[in-house]
Amino acid sequence: MTEKEKQQAGELYNGGDKELTADRTNVKKLCMEYNSTIYNDFQKRDRLLTRIIALKGENTVIEPNFFCDYGYNIIIGDNFYANHNCVILDCAEVIFGDNVFIGPNCGFYTAGHPLDAETRNSGLEYAKPIKVGSNVWIGGGVSVMPGVTIGDGAVIGGGSVVVSDIPAGYVAVGNPCKPVHPVVK
């Protein structure tokens, strides 16, 4: 089994593998080009996003600067907006539903490292998928950790660190992020 196959299967893998390094290098070049595109050249930005991201729906806007690890593990629904400085470490799948709005300086981190120093120092890592439902609003400065699911209609307060699943229809805040009350219409 290749390191990439191990990564995609959710097993420990060597992130320094040549194939994975080449994949990261290729997408980082595309991200660099995306981030240096003239702001109002929306067609070029859209073409680049189509090359970077595995699947994106209609009306996808990601403000520069945007960074990801692979791109081929990112799936975005319709009507997606991410403000400046979005980071998606997509060593595993990161799936966003429809009508997702993300504030500035947010990160989605599927990558993790073993707690055991000897294993961690050997270069092995793991990845767990992240899923963000539809009609979700994520405030500025939010970090979403490996393996988290955020339910449909949730609102995540700015500055939160999401380390466990958030149920659908709840406002959640804090570090660690916790549901505080249902979303009120």
**Residues with active-site annotation:** 113
Residue of 130, 137, 142 lying closest to 169 (CA atoms): 137
* C-beta neighbour count of 91 within 10 angstroms: 25
Joined together, the tokens standing for residue 87 give: 């980071």
Q: How many angstroms separate the Cα of 170 from the Cα of each of 26, 33, 76, 114, 167?
A: 38, 37, 21, 31, 6
